[in-house]
Chain A
Amino acid sequence: MSTDQYEELYEDYILPHFEDPYHKEEIECASCQHSERNPLCGDTVTLQLIIGKDDIIEKAFFSGNGCAISQAGASILCEEIEGKTVTELEKFSAEEMLELLKVPLTATRQRCGLLGFKVLKTMLYSRDGERIEEESTPSP
């Protein structure tokens, strides 16, 4: 990608998501939530999901602090995952997330771009864990 193409994408796509993010707010009624911190720079992302019938993500919200890439990444992620099912998200890969960001990232900056994605994956994983625990615990 040429410098001009990169700059154009950054200005037209990344910066708007950073400056005017999608669903950057904290909600009270999340079905599940999780936070992560990038140990390299202290950037944080908290993701909150409202999961409805048939395990469909009805709403996705995020909050956090950090660089344009990490925060725009979380905004793009929230926009992308609404309407998808938990099963679909379990198959959602890091490569797909990086494609959604459109701008090419070096290995270090991929950690920024994938911070929200990592939060989502950890949350789904621990949610599965809780669910398995609930199912295996005999009801009183």
Chain B
Amino acid sequence: MPSRTLFDKIWDAHLVRPETEEAPAILYVDLHLVHEVTSPQAFTVLRERGLRVRRPDRTVATMDHSTPTLPRVNGRFPFAHGDAEAQVDTLARNCGDYGIELHALGSEKQGIVHVIGPELGLTKAGMTVVCGDSHTSTHGAFGALAFGIGTSEVAHVLATQCLLQRKPKAMLISIDGALPAGVSAKDVILAVIARLGVGGGAGHVIEYAGSTVRGMSIEERMTVCNMSIEAGARAGMIGSAEWGTDPGARFDKEAALDVSRLAPMITWGTDPGTAIPVDARVPDDAPEKPLQYMGVKRGAPLLGTKIDVVFVGSCTNGRLSDLRAAASVLRGRRIAEGVRTLIVPGSQQVKHAAEQEGLDRVFREAGAEWREPGCSMCIAMNGDSLTPGQAAVSTSNRNFEGRQGRGGRTFLASPLTAAAAALKGAIADPREVLR
């Protein structure tokens, strides 16, 4: 057999029917993760057509996008919106009706779908993993082929455990060099997206390789794979000892990045491809509209830009190591007057582990809010949101206009950079604080 990429191997192993010119492949799905926002209309399709869930044993659900991150009041979850509560109730009913394992709001294993999948040991090397969520690529960190799907496809997988797919192309991104102090996996992926552009990965599955990636923890790898979609890629993945690319295997596209002198990165614009070193100046050729929206100026430094909110959390940076990083900056210090800081653990298990280490105390003593798990202000569906004009440094994955609340402005950065900004009340260089 010729040399194959990791992606080729997983693809080949899941072909129920290979693709032809006329028709896409039928690809088998090992693990289907489900949440409340992109699944109700898919269950409706099953009901309308009298279909069953083909493999409830390969389907796991949780509640994360529209759920409150404040604790129960008199035993009730404080939903900010009635329709969010109805959506969560709908998922519970659907899971009950179709025999699907559900980690519901209030249960010990609830959390952001891409945090709990790995945490519960569901995600494994060599698997195909899908979810009605574009950040499903997170699971690629384990050597799985994991990608986001639409709600029609959620119905396809529920009913048949399969998807119709054309095989994407393969891209290799080699990342080498030892990361300098204060520079993290988030900075690496922001640099990758800045290099590729937000459409540069379109039609491709990215494999991340190289010495830097090999040296990364599994949580750091998840952060890298998570944002593959922000470069337009279908998926991102990292090989393991058991599942890896053969020497000499061919990729359709290749890029290399030396990160030995990488600085902490932060976005200045309204797409995730606009990251620059935190101590750099906004590019002279920056287009007018994002500059206006963000309230930043061509050629001006971002350092010192006043901010109102800091958000630490999300499927990108809501795991224990991310909280530890933020705590390392905030420990024994006070958040600047007037800055609202939300620390939102990615799951109940992350929350519990962080509390065991006393991180919740570090955050509270610094003046931050320690919340219940969920997607929270990353997508701002649950009442956690920016108000018009507010600026946030956020560890999430998207800085689109209004993403964190109508009229809100988002600077994407790492947990270290976000925590440094909370202390200063302005965009700050975490290397200065850590020094």
Decide if A and B are genuine partners. Answer: no
Interface residues in chain A, defined as those with a beta carbon under 8 Å from any beta carbon in chain B: none
Interface residues in chain B, defined as those with a beta carbon under 8 Å from any beta carbon in chain A: none
